[in-house]
Structure 1
Amino acid sequence: MHIAWFVLVGVVLIAMAFSSHLVKRLPLSPALLYLGVGALIGPLGAGLLDLSPQDSMPWLELLTEVAVLITLFTVGMRLRVPFSWSAWAVPLRLATAGMVVTTASIALIGWLLLDLPWPALLLLGAILSPTDPVLASEVQIRHPDDRDGLRFSLTAEGGLNDGMAFPGVMLALGLMGLHEIGDLGWRWLAVDVVWAVSCGLLLGWLCGHAVGRSVHALRQSGHPLEAEEFLAFGVIALVYGAALLVHAYGFLAVFAAGAALAYSERSLRADKTPHQDGAHSSRLIHFSAQSEHLAEVAIVLVIGASLASVDWDWATVLFALLVMLVARPVSVLATVPLRLMAHPQRRLVAWFGIRGVGSVYYLAYAINHGIDGTVARTLTSAVMIAIFMSIVAHGITATPLMGRYMKLKRRRPSAERS
């Protein structure tokens, strides 16, 4: 299987390199095409790659972990909107209160349709609560200076909630006897919520800011940074490892590190320094984006190839539909008031709750922590089908809906409150 995997990935990557200009012209998300390729090479198609998610969870956790880390760092570097409560109000609400509402809504939908104990329902809600900032590229920030309020909110939310899903996952695992949460949940609240979240954000910010300043000092001394690509992976590995060492959330730390690097560039520009900070050159941003794209392709191919191994019963399919059509809109309407976002934007935010790589990681993480049997199979089917339907629905609608939104924005500038 490993030989077939290398050959297939090589063919797909070469085909991508030659056809990227054609893909950009299609009114579809690239992730939808990768999903189709994965299905064609899997048991549903040619049968060249046979993947069972439950049998592949150890390496799938590692693969998705790396993919999420690269994505979060890249997203953090793109977010160059200075922090203020007004500018960040929507993504912060969606990544905190919105996550709670989403988790509860998904658990309730699962209670109505799936035969799972309530701790497993809570786990399912937590696994599917994060959104993906990459899979529908049309709705994310297009370049570092993009100030569109809708794209910023969706991208920042995806960067934050990929780490903010951890408290819900850890609570559910604790209720299932697979993680220590303490009497009445005191340890979970103190360690898994307060400490892990705050320490992860602070550690990532301090490390990212320190690296950015160090690179600037190096360039000011006349020694330009020539291997900027190493810097991206170096910062990711250093920050993630340091966060895990102090029991903080590494995903949040890496996202904060990327944002801190972007902040250091802004501060240097504000000081009107003669040398641009090498950590934020177009070369590094381009390299990070390409790495992010490569990780996206690998994961979506795996999802497509594994679709034949999940249980496509009517209850699970209906569950996945309701997650997209009910849980996401409810969370947005409950946490984002009209004073923060106009009707056209809020409707699009309510629709674009894209599920993707982060949910695959949390699924693998939970199963590798001891969940097995019927519960593991039901969770796997529900998560994979929900991601599949999200990629298809959002991949088809992203381009026309965003095109309509941009036309409305040009005609009615007052509709944009960014």
Structure 2
Amino acid sequence: MLRRDAPRIRVRRVPTFDRETAAGGYVGTYLDLSHLNLTLAITGGIVLLLGLVGGYIRNTFWISEPIVATLVGIALGPALLGIMPGIHPSTHPGAFMHELARLTLALAVMSAAIRLPMTYISDNWRSLTIVIGGGMIVMWLIGSILAAFCFSFGWMAALLVGAVVSPTDPVLAGVVTSGSIAERNIPGRIRHLLCAESGLNDGLAMVVVALPMILMQHADAAALSDWAIEIVLWEVIGGIVVGAAIGWVAMHLLKWSRRRALSETHSTLTIGIALAVTTLAVVRLMGSDGILAAFVAGAFLNRAIDDSERIHEHIQEAIGRFFILPIFLVFGAALPWQQWFSMGWPVLVFALAVLCLRRMPLFLLLGKIVPDIHTRRETLFAGWFGPMGISSLFYATLAVQETGFEQVWPITALVVLASVVAHGITAMPLVRRISTDMCEET
């Protein structure tokens, strides 16, 4: 996020875990190291089980793997069985959930960048500019208006909540942008548009998240200067430059290695994961965030991967599943049930309103001017599949740590849960029924 020497941003430390308050805190962010092996065994076993029967569950019951992982987390977590002792709710979000979300996002955006055609971003910059440039701002404002309507806090807090739920999640979007079923039924330009959008706007969302976050602490002209320097120049532009530099080096090293037959095709998978982790760590050590840098680095690495290597994408998805599903397991175990009950109907109304109104009206208005969207069916399809997930959790935990505004966590958690369920249930039937008609029209 912000540089460690930034004078105006205060990072709140995670309080000591209190077992007496564990049953109803905001989020599972405390990792009990004494039970780490049990937690890893449960997590690994669930991922193994989903790997064995995930296809049957998805094709038979039409529910996605993130839904299953979240439900298992709920069942095993403190809310029900309480047999995942390594993950406990504490009083507010902290480092564990935040860093787990950061690593998951870095791997997800790297995977999204590698899945895109080699020159997609440069060839389709008009569509991306409309969907990401104008689209993210509109989704931010719509979410903020809904937050101001549903809750009693002020406009600055509403702008923060709206910003947190504005990015499209690459993990959940991958349900309809990757895999053989998606490739057979959805036109490539739609899949690639959703994939690129979800990969890019996770890092760019820092611009809209940080503005209200800084203004909530320092509502003066200096705050705007900090935002412009620390966020726009350092986080975004700096992240792009650093990610491009790391990706450029990795691209040329891979090409050099291939020319001398020093590496094999399947090593690309390892290189992609290693590049995501390396980029994330390097940029983090520099005091920045790293999500956007990971996507840019992946886009450069993509230029060194030829079409023959893309047949191994299913292997990459399998590896990605191992890194991605655990966070949904943790998320399910950490859901803030008591906070939802205490907040009452407004939080439920907000979650449902965001699900229906945050994105669809935007695409109905902009669909006709996006070059990659050709028909009304495609407009409806792209307008619906803009899920909120790990990226929103990442920014929610960041907002709580930086501002102490703890309500952003239970609000975001319910929005993400609603999105996981709604988009996970509708993905398979709509891909098979609606997108088949789209292919016929094109």
* Pairwise CA distance, 1:245: 5.2
Aligned equivalent of 1:348: 381
Aligned equivalent of 2:326: 298
2:64 pairs with 1:29 = yes
Aligned equivalent of 2:14: none
Paired AA for residue 42 in structure 1: G
Query: Is contact 2:247–2:300 with CA below 8 Å preserved after alignment?
Result: yes
Aligned equivalent of 2:127: 90
Quick one: distance in 2 between partners of 1:189 and 1:335? Answer: 28
Aligned equivalent of 2:397: 364
Aligned equivalent of 1:135: 172
2:243 pairs with 1:212 = no
Quick one: distance in 2 between partners of 1:237 and 1:112? Answer: 40
* Pairwise CA distance, 1:139: 1.3
Q: Deviations over 1:50-76 (max 9, x none)?
A: 632644522111111111111111111
Q: CA RMSD in A?
A: 2.8
Note the 1:10-49 alignment, pairs <5 A.
10-26=44-60, 27-49=62-84
Query: Is contact 2:136–2:167 with CA below 8 Å preserved after alignment?
Result: yes
Quick one: distance in 2 between partners of 1:331 and 1:401? Answer: 20
- Name the stretch that deviates more: 165-174 or 79-88: 79-88
Quick one: distance in 1 between partners of 2:349 and 2:127? Answer: 29
Aligned equivalent of 2:235: 196
Aligned equivalent of 2:409: 380
Q: Deviations over 1:6-47 (max 9, x none)?
A: 342133133223323423423221111112111211244323
Query: Is contact 2:170–2:199 with CA below 8 Å preserved after alignment?
Result: yes
- Name the stretch that deviates more: 156-165 or 89-98: 89-98
Paired AA for residue 352 in structure 1: F
Query: Is contact 1:73–1:258 with CA below 8 Å preserved after alignment?
Result: yes
* Pairwise CA distance, 1:162: 0.7
* Pairwise CA distance, 1:244: 4.0
Aligned equivalent of 1:235: 275
Task: Please state whether the residue corresponding to 1:52 is helix, strand or coil.
Answer: strand
* Pairwise CA distance, 1:247: 5.5
Runs of 4+ in 1 over 6 A off after TM superposition: none
* Pairwise CA distance, 1:134: 2.2
2:291 pairs with 1:251 = yes
Query: Is contact 1:181–1:187 with CA below 8 Å preserved after alignment?
Result: no
Cα pair distance change 1:349/1:54, threshold 3 Å: farther
Query: Is contact 1:130–1:355 with CA below 8 Å preserved after alignment?
Result: yes
Q: Deviations over 1:332-353 (max 9, x none)?
A: 3444434532211111111112
TM-score, length of structure 1 as denominator length: 0.85
Paired AA for residue 116 in structure 1: F
* Pairwise CA distance, 1:171: 1.0
Count of matched residue positions in the alignment of Structure 1 and Structure 2? 395
Cα pair distance change 1:119/1:135, threshold 3 Å: same
Quick one: distance in 2 between partners of 1:188 and 1:337? Answer: 34
Residue 330 (structure 1) aligned to one of 361, 379, 384 = 361
Paired AA for residue 66 in structure 2: A
Q: Percent identity?
A: 24
Aligned equivalent of 1:272: none
Quick one: distance in 1 between partners of 2:303 and 2:59? Answer: 33
Aligned equivalent of 1:175: 215
Quick one: distance in 1 between partners of 2:323 and 2:45? Answer: 16
Paired AA for residue 141 in structure 1: S
* Pairwise CA distance, 1:84: 5.6
* Pairwise CA distance, 1:222: 3.6
Cα pair distance change 1:290/1:181, threshold 3 Å: farther
Quick one: distance in 1 between partners of 2:275 and 2:146? Answer: 40
Quick one: distance in 2 between partners of 1:86 and 1:76? Answer: 14
Paired AA for residue 221 in structure 1: R
Cα pair distance change 1:108/1:256, threshold 3 Å: same
2:350 pairs with 1:319 = yes
Quick one: distance in 2 between partners of 1:48 and 1:330? Answer: 43
* Pairwise CA distance, 1:367: 1.6
Residue 9 (structure 1) aligned to one of 43, 67, 72 = 43
Task: Please state whether the residue corresponding to 2:168 is helix, strand or coil.
Answer: coil
Q: Deviations over 1:349-398 (max 9, x none)?
A: 11112010111111111222241xxx30x211110000011111111111
Quick one: distance in 1 between partners of 2:50 and 2:261? Answer: 39
- Name the stretch that deviates more: 216-225 or 157-166: 216-225
Structure 1: segments with no counterpart, 5+ residues: 270-275, 414-418
Paired AA for residue 90 in structure 1: S
* Pairwise CA distance, 1:194: 4.1
Quick one: distance in 2 between partners of 1:350 and 1:89? Answer: 18
Q: Deviations over 1:229-248 (max 9, x none)?
A: 55234322332344345555
Quick one: distance in 1 between partners of 2:357 and 2:93? Answer: 31
Quick one: distance in 2 between partners of 1:85 and 1:333? Answer: 25
Query: Is contact 1:98–1:334 with CA below 8 Å preserved after alignment?
Result: no
Quick one: distance in 2 between partners of 1:123 and 1:325? Answer: 19
Query: Is contact 2:92–2:400 with CA below 8 Å preserved after alignment?
Result: no
